[in-house]
Amino acid sequence: MQEDLSPPEMAYDCCLDGDVVSAGKLGSAPGLLSVEQGFDALLGCRLPHLQVAAACHRCLKTRMVRIRNQVHRASVFFENNDISRARRLMRTAAKQLDRLSNHVARVTVPGQSCAGLASLLANQTANASDLAIDVVAELNQNANP
């Protein structure tokens, strides 16, 4: 028998939070995100995880899918240098995420289908909303140099 001396794998949190800054400022402010990193964090981690957690309630899951699709469309417009459309879509997505917190509160009360996920859904929805707001702020700055 051989003992496995390799270090245990650490759980990696792919969801990044923080202020979104332009690539030029990134070097002077370590730890802050670019718009691209904001989109990656939302689409690659935050929203997919929320969508999985929201599976406990059909309407909540549907809303998460719609918001994720909207953020994806915004990222495509951003990649194609259509900042105004990307900003508009992200502004709407941020508002929807903010409003979603009320719906999350209703479906996570004791006795409801998502009660066991109350803190996870509330915290992650708030984090996604904050991240979307940061992306909108940076898109505003990119549109008005």
pLDDT digits (tens, 9 = 90+) for 99-124: 988 888 888 888 888 888 888 888 88
Does residue 6 fall inside a structural domain? no
Number of domains, the chain: 1
Does residue 14 fall inside a structural domain? no
Contact 132, 90 (CB under 8 A): yes
Q: Environment class of residue 21 by beta-carbon count within 10 Å: exposed (0-12), middle (13-18) or buried (19+)? A: buried
Residue 89's closest CA among 31, 30, 132, 47? 132
- Which residues lie across from 20 on neighbouring strands? 33
Instruction: Tell me the per-residue pLDDT of 62-83, one tens digit each, with 9 for 90 and over.
Output: 999 999 999 999 999 999 999 9
Does residue 91 fall inside a structural domain? yes
Q: How far apart are CA 73 and CA 47, in angstroms?
A: 14
Q: pTM for this structure? A: 0.78
Does residue 27 fall inside a structural domain? yes
Does residue 128 fall inside a structural domain? yes
Domain that holds residue 35: 23-143
Does residue 8 fall inside a structural domain? no
Does residue 59 fall inside a structural domain? yes
